[in-house]
Amino acid sequence: LGAITRPALSGNEIGLSFYLEGILKKVAPAWMVMSPQETATRINAQGLTEEYVRMRLRFEDSRILDRNILKKIGEAIGVRYVFLPSLADFSQRMTVRWTFPLINTRVMETRSSNMRMSLYLWNVETGELLWECIAEAAMEREAISQDPIYMEDIARATLGSIVSDFLNRKRASKYTPLSKFLDDLIKEAIPEEKPKEDELGELPAK
């Protein structure tokens, strides 16, 4: 489902579900993952837009997805499980590290970004919250150019962290990736042995 966030961060959550889709397809190619675009199209085609919006608004207050609406959404989409990303915090900062004081020229600065995100997995048939996780990522770069740390980079790092936790049955982590963050996380995410179902329950049947 489309990512949600608090009003102060509204707009920053756009794109998170698409990044999650790409990561899931890479680390779990056997899963049948439906794109956020197709999900939205099917919800709208079934005339469930108002109920979908109402379910999301209620979630902001209760942290619970309404079971009856969720079941309708699941039937409209044609899936048994849905992921719901939630952006909790996002910030960027620049700190000047090296200047020429006499001519007031900035030569080098440190640019950093921090992101905290949650991911929920729901069974649409029963309304059961099967799994949730929160992860935080921080990225830092020394730069002499004007290029920032792009949100997409840190979003993929954070979501990669969460997917790693999901495949390894963890629920909370903090990562500080420095280089090749996503590839390293994906390598760590794939377990050597198939986990037992009773540790968490059934994995998404995609």
Per residue in 167-203, pLDDT (tens digit) is: 877 665 554 443 345 555 555 554 554 444 444 444 4
Predicted pLDDT at 136 = 84
Tokens representing residue 181 in the block: 């963050």
Nearest to 64 by CA among 136, 16, 4: 4
pTM value?
Answer: 0.71
pLDDT at position 140 over 50 = yes
